[in-house]
Structure 1
């Protein structure tokens, strides 16, 4: 699954430059030139990372970052601020607001890509091909094997993709619609209740004897992988 980047930047020429280099590197890129629209895109379909300009029409990058951190679905999405502001006080303000990194214009695409990879290696290890671990659950994306407390767990393809998605985003709550888009794909028609069926199958497979239920159901919101599920 290719990492999805949301670029919120009002400079069209810079947007095209960044998009070209990121897509050449294998990322999927969505973009917006408007602060309010960018925030809406992030909340509707949380990306793997947000590239965020400071000065934007309608809503500043600082305010977008602040709202992303307040919204449960985007609270843990990494954010890189991209701005012409070079003062130390500005960098500190951006980081204090919740940005994970800060890069000043002008910058080279190679540096930006290196910073993106560094953050994704730290926050989303599955995107760099590493084995995923959550408490006593281990998922090997290469061999498609899952174990819990050293016992092998047998999952169907859809349950495997669901678990991988949850383990890439621990504690984040996903609505049924978001899970459909991320796990089944945007162009596949599946009824919402199908998600519930596969969640039940995943929960049953993971809940081997003596192990805690780690799939949390959030009323009217969706599901999350959470050690406090019980």
Structure 2
């Protein structure tokens, strides 16, 4: 059985050696790159099952590398995890808003990193990116432009507040994935300690109203009572 190939982009050799060791011990095939240029070449040569990207690379910002990898053929199907020495919340928010699957700050437990890798791959059904790229993509009537901070719904641009954009973008990224209110607060709000569950509920309510204005008969956002919210997986291709 072919071992899942994990691209490790980390300029500190000591940290990279540790990551490679624990990944190999857990049954993965790590491929180490010390620079963004090397990562681009390896990524194009063979799509990995997952990429671990250090934010502070010597030749390019890790967030910029993420966007460039995502733009490559099949890149959008590769789950990615950010690794950084900085623990600022803004880095975590930027990484998640870009579309990363997870984020871990140094210093970290190597076993925790492997556990997160395992969880991400299990969440993506363990499919190799090449196989996922070959399969027809599910029809989701949303188009997200992160740089313009704009979301189109059935072709129509939505007028969204900052937090409405963050909420909808997160839900659209993983259709069917149920997010608790605490998760939504932590991933969308700057200082979620000052926010409450009803803050999420209020923003979901206004989001639903804006979606209904475009497609009155479509229930795009599902409520799981006592749990949280999810984007419906079976949205029609046209309202």
Pairwise TM-score range, normalised by the shorter structure: 0.5 to 0.7
How many residue pairs end up in the alignment? Answer: 137
2-side partners of 1:14 and 1:57: how far apart?
15
Cα offset for 1:28?
0.4
Once residues 118 and 169 of structure 1 are traced to their aligned partners in structure 2, the CA distance between those partners, rounded to angstroms, is 23
CA distance, structure 1, for counterparts of residue 40 and residue 90 of structure 2: 24
TM-score where L is the length of structure 1? 0.55
Written as runs of structure 1 = structure 2, the 5 A alignment for 1:18-57 is: 18-57=19-58
Mapping for residues 1-230 of structure 1, pairs under 5 Å: 1-125=2-126, 166=131, 170-171=135-136
Structure 1 residues 167, 40: closer, same or farther in 2, change over 3 A?
closer
Alpha-carbon RMSD across the aligned residues, in angstroms, is: 2.3
What residue in structure 2 maps to residue 220 of structure 1?
none
The offset of 1:170, in angstroms, is 3.3
Counterpart secondary structure, 2:86: coil
For residues 6 and 20 of structure 1, what CA distance do their matches in structure 2 show?
A: 13
The answer to whether the Cα contact below 8 Å between 1:124 and 1:169 also exists between their aligned partners in 2 is no
Distance 1:165 1:41, change over 3 A: closer
SS in 1 for 2:74: helix
Instruction: Give me the whole-angstrom Cα distance separating, in 2, the residues matched to 1:96 and 1:165.
Output: 24
The answer (yes or no) to whether the contact 1:55–1:83 under 8 Å persists in 2 is: yes
Distance 1:120 1:106 in 2: 23
Which structure has more relative contact order (CA 8 Å, sep 6+)? It is 2
Q: Structure 1, residues 98-146: CA drift from partner, whole Å, max 9, x if none? A: 211000001111100110010000113358xxxxxxxxxxxxxxxxxxx
Contiguous gaps of at least 5 residues in structure 2: 138-239
